[in-house]
A = this chain, B = another copy of it.
Amino acid sequence: MLTDAIPLTDHHCHGILGADLDRPHFERFLGEGPRGTFDSALGLAVRRYCAPLLDLPAHASPDEYLDRRVELGWREVTARLLRGAGVTRWLVDTGFWPELDDGAAQPHSTFTVPVHPGVRHRIRDNGPASDPGLRFVARRDAQLAEFRDLSGGAVEEVVRLEQVAEYVIAQRRTSPTLFAEIENALRERARHAVAFKTIVAYRCGLNFPLVDSPPATVSSETRLSDPHLIGWLVGLGARLGAELGLPLQFHTGFGDHDLRLDHADPLLLTDFLRTTSGSGLTVMLLHCWPFHRQASYLAHIFDHVRIDLGLAIPHIGSRAGSVLAETLELAPFRSLCYSSDGFGLPELHYLGAVLWRRGLARLLDEWIADDAITTADAEALVLAIAEGNAHRVYPRSEECGASTRT
């Protein structure tokens, strides 16, 4: 197949759960609901495609698979799956690291507050043990380093707007310069990052208000939910992204049970896209399913929009080719990128790659057989989606995971 040996850039994924998992804990991560199941297209794909990398026959039973997974140990399994994906560059959202929520032992305990050097000095007075900023830096660096070791690829950081803001607000809510401090924290984080990301779809939906000025007051909630505040934050991210050359990723479409899917239709971003068109910002619409045709329309209309199918690909198994076909009806070929959105289980990072390769190969084989495209053009299209389109919009770190821009 055309796609077998192509190196990929996975431009949006998350960390790995560093723990050996029993079936309930494994299945919890097999779905976006409170718990998933092997009894699904995704479960079939794990058994079909991941089992052989663990030296099992294809279609091993769930229990055989999980026994062998524990036998090898999560570290070995993770290395095999991440390396098997053929990904040379991973852009990792560090804002939300997978964790077990039941107190089970986990080498990678999570720490979700982002570094904010602007306030680091002040709270350092309380001693390192209570300095969440320093601890975040140390943990994040360790997590990314381990991801790099296990995967053998370059690892770079995507910074989540909401968690930087939430951290600064938690520390400095009553400061008269609160909003400037949020901006400073984002600028500091951006020095070592390749993109911003927003999960506004989860908070007030994609029809957030387009506002230029922050709200008069900020509540003491730890989870941002005020639409005015979030709207301002997204606008800030868009402005900084345009200034610094960092794309702004939006969660859209399919996501976890914290989402209202009808508030995540990317068409709700139309006014935002009109506002940012020509500003220099690149907007990346993640996942999109089941609104992937709507997303492809936005990529068709707006030069600064890019899209992917993200976590839809690993979840839908052998249907990946059909969904790619629907997406390519209208999306310009420059606009589609590859990502796995893998979270917690390296099976997801691997299946994203395998199913994308198989689905796109099958689709292009059909197009070639139909004489709708030449082999050379098909190869160029594969390369573009695999990494070329991403490389054109994301800055390249000078050193893996530690790019510096000013």
Contact B35 A303 (CB under 8 A): yes
- Can you name the residue of chain B whose Cβ is closest to the Cβ of A320? B329
A270 on interface, CB distance cutoff 8 Å: yes
CB distance from A114 to the nearest CB of B (A): 28
Contact A37 B334 (CB under 8 A): yes
**Which of A40, A317, A329, A373: most chain B CB closer than 10 A?**
A329
Residues of A272-319 contacting chain B, CB below 8 A? 289-290, 293-294, 297, 300-303, 312, 315-319
CB distance from A393 to the nearest CB of B (A): 15
Contact A323 B329 (CB under 8 A): yes
Residues of A377-392 contacting chain B, CB below 8 A? 377
Contact A33 B302 (CB under 8 A): yes
Which chain B residues lie closer than 8 Å to A294 at the CB level? 261-262, 290
- On whether A261 and B254 interact (CB within 8 A), knowing A289-B293, A316-B329, the answer reads no
Contact A318 B372 (CB under 8 A): yes
CB distance from A270 to the nearest CB of B (A): 5
CB distance from A357 to the nearest CB of B (A): 14
Contact A34 B303 (CB under 8 A): yes
Interface magnitude class on chain A: 35 or more
Contact B332 A40 (CB under 8 A): yes
A256 on interface, CB distance cutoff 8 Å: yes
CA distance A323 to B296 in the complex (A): 15
Checking B59, B297, B315 against A261 with a beta-carbon cut-off of 8 angstroms, the contacting residue is: B297
- Can you name the residue of chain B whose Cβ is closest to the Cβ of A270? B260
Which chain B residues lie closer than 8 Å to A58 at the CB level? 371
Which chain B residues lie closer than 8 Å to A260 at the CB level? 267, 270-271
Q: A33-B302, A36-B332, A44-B377 are in contact. List 15 more A-B contacts (CB 8 A).
A: A32-B300, A33-B301, A33-B303, A37-B334, A44-B372, A48-B373, A257-B302, A260-B267, A260-B270, A262-B267, A317-B372, A318-B367, A319-B326, A322-B326, A323-B329
Taking Cβ atoms with an 8 Å cutoff, the residues of A that contact B are 31-37, 39-41, 44-45, 48, 58-59, 254, 256-257, 260-262, 265, 267-268, 270-271, 289-290, 293-294, 297, 300-303, 312, 315-319, 322-323, 325-326, 328-334, 366-367, 370-374, 377
27 of the cross-chain contacts (CB-CB < 8 Å) are: A31-B332, A32-B301, A33-B300, A36-B332, A37-B333, A39-B332, A39-B333, A39-B334, A40-B330, A44-B372, A44-B377, A48-B372, A48-B373, A254-B297, A261-B294, A262-B265, A262-B267, A262-B268, A262-B270, A290-B294, A315-B330, A316-B329, A317-B329, A318-B370, A319-B325, A319-B329, A323-B329
